[in-house]
Chain A
Amino acid sequence: MNGIHDMGGMHGLGPIEAEKNEPVFHARWEGRVLALTFAMGATGKLGYFRYYLERIPAVDYLRMSYYEKWFAALVERLSLSGLVAREEIETGKRARGSPKATPALPASQVLQLIAPRARTQPQGGPSHFQAGQRVRARNIHPVGHTRLPRYARGRQGLIERDYGLFGFQDTDADGHPLGPKPQHVYSVRFAARELWGEQASPRDYLYVDLWEDYLEPA
């Protein structure tokens, strides 16, 4: 979706404020939100995380801190999962008679979640583009989640490298995955001037990782 999250190239979002000796979490609740997101994600019953982050209204997205957004997305995904009723979240109390579950992520399995073995390469078709080939990122504007940033759409670049097969991550307008339909992901090298015009340095390049469905020959 053409949302506020797709912010590459925007102006006016303020100065970069780097904090010296920044802690990993600024408050206890931040770490709990991260952990709850993982622990509940292990149920396999929550909707696609990034889609729900991107559904946060733009004004809220800019105002909220990082883990506030995670929390908002978690609450929304829990409510839609059927695991927790909205009323339970509002009152903080388990509904009478609701079934008692078994945690999907017991403490004994945490390390396995954090450090899984190497991923297995999905099966899929051959690549349709080769290193050095000129391609154009398609000028598409899907209403669901997409990993093709707006600033690259319609622009030409060169295939730098074929990274192999990866599951497609786009969703439809309601957040349902369009994938997995595994396909090749390429590093595509765009001249900064192709993207930003004469104001950009002629020496600079952007490398964007793009699924085959995002590309056409140029």
Chain B
Amino acid sequence: METSRRGTAGGAAAGSAHGAGHRHDHDHQAVPSDLTLRVKSLESLLVEKGLVDRAALDALVDAYENKIGPRNGARVVARAWTDPAYKQRLLTDANSAIAELGFSGQQGENMVVLENTPKVHNLVVCTLCSCYPWPVLGLPPVWYKSAPYRSRAVIDPRGVLNEFGTEIAEDIEVRVWDSTADLRYLVLPERPSGTEKLTEDELAALITRDSMIGVAKVAPPKSGG
């Protein structure tokens, strides 16, 4: 099945909504063009009424599209991997430690960093909506906001991890963090072996968004690289 790009509940729900034999991708073409018009119409109306500054909208979209994203979180993790004193500050007072690197703001006012170890694996979810640490990871991907992940991460975390290709040995404790209040969680993944000689920048390039949500581990660098 093609990727559910816009976060429907998945094949089953989309199928039942449209009847047997109605292809999922049909829906993908019909809905957005209508929304394009409706959103454009609302924006024009609000601008005309003086309620909205179009330049402010442009600036907001630009910030979340180009400036705020998982590269920020990767800088935090890479620093923690290379600077033990920073890591200690990060684990005890995440807000200040993250702000040291220049990252702060909306949906990241109350940060908590969760350290993965050889004995503990952390996984972050928001079952009620889509809470996510924006200043360090940007806006969440569709799968994180979708019904399949939100429903299953809490009842079957190991199955979910498996689907992401992440094997967690039976004797490792899995901790699932449901972001139900104002705290926002960032996973500090384990530093892979074979990275002892890498610089902080090289390490940051290895660190993926998924590893900071906890659905993946950081893969060691490809040999010869």
Contacts and interface: CB of A to CB of B under 8 A. Distances in A.
A: contact size bracket: 35 or more
A125 interface: no
B49 interface: yes
A115 B104 contact: yes
Nearest to A37: B60
B127 A149 contact: yes
A211 B14 CA distance: 36
A132 B202 CA distance: 41
A198 interface: no
A71 B35 contact: yes
Given A22-B142, A101-B49, A7 B157 contact: no
Contacts of A64: 8
A208 interface: yes
Nearest to B107: A114
A36 B150 contact: no
B64 A201 contact: no
Contacts of B160: 16
Given A103-B53, A195-B154, A209-B180, 14 more contacts: A5-B128, A7-B147, A8-B127, A14-B13, A16-B164, A24-B65, A34-B61, A50-B129, A63-B8, A66-B145, A84-B45, A94-B45, A185-B181, A209-B181
Given A9-B155, A40-B52, A33 B39 contact: yes
Contacts of B149: 16
A64 B210 CA distance: 24
Interface in A75-113: 75, 78, 83-84, 88-89, 92-94, 98, 100-107, 109-111, 113
A128 interface: no
A19 B172 contact: no
19 contacts: A17-B142, A24-B139, A28-B36, A35-B56, A35-B57, A40-B46, A65-B6, A71-B35, A75-B42, A92-B41, A98-B49, A147-B128, A149-B178, A195-B154, A201-B174, A204-B173, A206-B154, A207-B176, A211-B181
Nearest to B164: A18
Closest 4 CB pairs between A and B? A14-B10, A8-B127, A115-B105, A65-B6
A110 B128 contact: no
B180 A148 contact: yes
Nearest to A60: B17
Interface residues of B, number: 94
Interface of B: 1, 3-14, 17, 31-32, 35-36, 38-46, 48-53, 55-61, 63-65, 68-69, 95, 99, 104-106, 109-110, 125, 127-130, 135, 138-139, 141-143, 145-155, 157-158, 160, 163-164, 170-183, 210
A205 B148 contact: no
Contacts of B150: 7-8
Contact of B135 (A84, A109, A115): A115
B178 A207 contact: yes
Contacts of A149: 127-128, 178, 180
Contacts of A196: 155
A39 B141 contact: no
Nearest to A104: B51
Interface in A131-145: none
Given A22-B142, A27-B36, A63-B13, A114 B178 contact: no
A129 interface: no
A170 B132 CA distance: 20
Contacts of B135: 115
A89 B42 contact: yes
A196 B155 CA distance: 7
Contact of A19 (B3, B59, B151): B3
Contacts of A103: 50-53, 56
